[in-house]
Amino acid sequence: MISKKMQNGLNKQLNAELYAAYLYFAISAWFEGENLEGFAAWMKSQALEETSHAMRFYKHILERGGEVELFEVKKPEAKISTPLEAFQAAYEHEKKVTQMINDLVDLAEAEKDNAAIYGLLNWFVSEQIEEEDQTLKVVEKLKMIADSKQGIFMLDRELGARPLPASQTIVNPGSGED
């Protein structure tokens, strides 16, 4: 059985993962408006990945006899006017999520909740290393590119090659797919 403190912490993180998906969808929409389809696809993939992260928390809470509480997901406030600003916002957000995961580990240790630590949170600790690394790499590439339109075009193509997360698809409205 999961403690109320742990349940509350995991529900808050579930909400934070859904917010992250909203943030990445918002950034993707900005890239779409700028005709940077590869950047947009990268962000869509990231958004879908964040949704799958939320579902890990959802499933864990329920498997432990807890109650999932879905909170309102706030509107992303990121102000974007360049690809670099977009990825810097994403990187800063990933650093914030890393701290949130670390705080959950601390809570799980205080609650002596080994199932949360070893069954859920260890994976997220490793995942956040990857999330920060991949986002920071794009930030650094964008800094090298600076204002080069050719560089942006080449990076757009590179980022567009990122595959969607396993078992995730984006349904095309009007395609007849459900």
**158 assigned to a ligand binding site:** no
Query: Residue 162 has which token pair?
Result: 């990122």
**53 assigned to a ligand binding site:** yes
**50 assigned to a ligand binding site:** yes
- Spatial contact of 82 and 32, defined as CB atoms under 8 Å apart: no
Check pLDDT > 80 for residue 27: yes
Percentage of the chain lying above the pLDDT 90 cut: 88
Span 49-103, pLDDT tens digits: 999 999 999 999 999 999 999 999 999 987 899 999 999 999 999 999 999 999 9
Span 143-168, pLDDT tens digits: 999 999 999 999 999 999 988 776 55
Check pLDDT > 90 for residue 23: yes
Considering the entire predicted model, what is its pTM? Answer: 0.89
> Domain-by-domain residue ranges, the chain?
4-160
Check pLDDT > 80 for residue 173: no
**17 assigned to a ligand binding site:** yes
Domain 4-160: which CATH number of 3.40.640.10, 1.20.1260.10, 1.10.1740.10, 3.20.20.140: 1.20.1260.10
Place of tokens 């991949």: 134
